[in-house]
Amino acid sequence: MLLAAEVFDFEEQSTYSLRVRSTDLGGNHIENAFVIDILDVDETVGIRANEDQAVKIYPNPFTHAARVVFPNPQGETYRMYLMDLAGKIVMTREEIRTSQFELQREDLGKGYYIIELRGKQVYRGRIVIE
């Protein structure tokens, strides 16, 4: 697994090259070069028809709790999925019928997460936990 200190940004650089070397206790080593191609993705938060339908998360980054706000004027039922960068679901929340709720950190580690709200529509956003 490769962990980067910064988020890769296609607009800044579309390709990164790196060399990885591993040495065992006997002094034997293996070395390989890798190229990382960065995808140009839509960086808007949420899936929306216009600007006032965005998923809003504040504060973001957060340490203890954050408020999640999304358009749900009719009080439809939504389900929240919080996923890590590998796509593993690390938290769910059922029966969301309001247009905002508080997301508690609980036992989540520091990092970058994707939030998805599924109901009549699907909304996505990004959350950073410090």
What confidence tens digit (pLDDT) does each residue in 44-92 have?
544 344 444 478 999 989 999 999 999 998 999 999 999 998 889 999 9
65, part of any domain: yes
Rg from Cα positions in the chain: 19
31, part of any domain: no
Please report the beta strands in 44-96, taking only residues with DSSP state E, as ranges in sequence order: 56-58, 65-69, 78-83, 89-96
Both tokens of residue 118?
């599924």
State yes or no: pLDDT of 108 exceeds 70: yes
Residue 100: DSSP 8-state: E
pTM for the full model?
0.58
Query: Is the distance from CB of 76 to CB of 120 less than 8 angstroms?
Result: yes
What confidence tens digit (pLDDT) does each residue in 14-28 have?
888 888 889 999 999
Q: Which residue segment(s) compose the domain that 116 sits in?
A: 51-129
State the total domains in the chain: 1
7, part of any domain: no
